[in-house]
Chains A and B, each alone.
Chain A
Amino acid sequence: MFNILRMVGAVAVVVVIATAPVMAETPTYTIQIKDHRFIPETLNIPAGTKVKLIIENLDKTAEEFESFDLNREKIVLGGKKIKIFLPPLEPGEYGFFGEFNPKTAQGKVIVK
């Protein structure tokens, strides 16, 4: 038990240290969801740099932004926005989809 408590403590310290410095300006891109489709469906982003995605859901229903390639999974409620941080990526294509409407909600990030 003490091992675990100590580890939780250490994690808390790291969290505080990591959040202390102001984050540098991160390139930000917005993807909208409308009628269960992503707009745009293809997004170009630069390689090797952290990127912030804003997913804005214009539908009234919730959607789950999900990507196996990017290892992300996050719910966007109807009429809300979420932020997703992407790590520096290698050039290539990274697919994503809306788990609640996978037939229509498909998209990809192209890293160049």
Chain B
Amino acid sequence: MNAGVFLVTFRESFEGFLIVAILLSLFYKADNRRAANYVLAGGVAGAIGALLFSMIASYIYGMFDGMGQDILQAVIFLLAAIVITTVVIFLGKARYAGLKSTVEKYSDSTALYGLAVIGFIMIFREGVEMALFLAGIIFQTGDAGTTTFFFGIGGIVAALLLAVGIYALGLKLPLKLFFTATSIFLIFLGAGMAAAGIGKLVEIDLLPAIQYEVWNSNWLMSEHSSIGKFFHTLLGYNANPTMTEALTYGVCLSALFYLYYRQNRKRSSQSAT
């Protein structure tokens, strides 16, 4: 029981921490403390927001004829996709305007707020689930529940420590490599978020699926295994998507890659003239 609880909180909270850790690492490395602070502030606000939200969850989830939970998740995913897009465009510009100087001095408020929103969403999303889960544990078993509760908290702390380790590792990587890796990771993340948001709307029958289960690669890599979960979080891997989700993913992935790399073309055409 206790080990199981530890694993649940560890696994779930690590997803959020990982993304925040990567972004923090990138911006600290580029000496852009302002951007890093926005990410961090967003993350902290997300944790507090999740605690507050879990108290009013029953009201929100009951909205839209009991579909409040799905609608809320769809909105969060789609908002995340849009915000990630603004950050990808910024990174695309930074890439060709001289990496360090731009990332360092960049203070476009849209991208900064975008970073704060990403931090918020990543922590909030998993945080709500954690809060409801841990509240249930405290509620149900009295003294034994208290021990279990601390195992749950332990899982979150362990995930946080691992994220700090990844943050430290990020600081050691060469900036250019790390910058490119982060950008590409965000492109996949953005496409994954868009597909997940649209997927939620398909789930509640608001959007057509076109075709259920275009493929099923659960035999190869279940998205719920540890490695699959990792790919699911980072790249938006879905082992059995609907056609609508697969198309959304494909279109958004192409659009984001285009938005990121088009800065290159603009620049080279300018220098040619």
Contact = CB atoms under 8 A, between A and B. Distances in A.
Interface stretch (B101-109, B133-141, B167-175, B180-188): B133-141
Given A23-B205, A62-B135, A74-B70, A7 B251 contact: yes
B78 interface: yes
Interface residues of B, number: 47
Contacts of A4: 81-82, 85, 252, 255
A60 B203 contact: no
Interface string A76-106: 0110111111011000000000011011000
A100 B62 contact: no
Interface string A16-52: 0011000100000000000000000000000000100
B66 A75 contact: no
Contact of A82 (B66, B136, B208): B66
B212 A68 contact: no
A50 B204 CA distance: 11
B67 A83 contact: yes
A68 B66 contact: no
A36 B139 CA distance: 13
A15 B64 CA distance: 15
A102 B8 CA distance: 10
Interface of B: 1, 4, 8, 57-58, 61-62, 65-67, 69-70, 78, 81-82, 85-86, 89, 129, 132-133, 135-137, 139-140, 198, 201, 203-209, 212, 218, 222-224, 240, 242, 251-252, 255, 258-259
8 interchain residue pairs of minimum CB distance: A61-B136, A87-B212, A62-B132, A3-B255, A85-B205, A77-B58, A62-B136, A68-B224
12 contacts: A1-B259, A3-B255, A4-B82, A4-B252, A14-B207, A59-B140, A60-B140, A61-B139, A78-B136, A80-B61, A80-B62, A100-B133
Given A68-B218, A100-B133, 7 more contacts: A1-B85, A4-B252, A64-B129, A74-B70, A77-B58, A77-B61, A83-B204
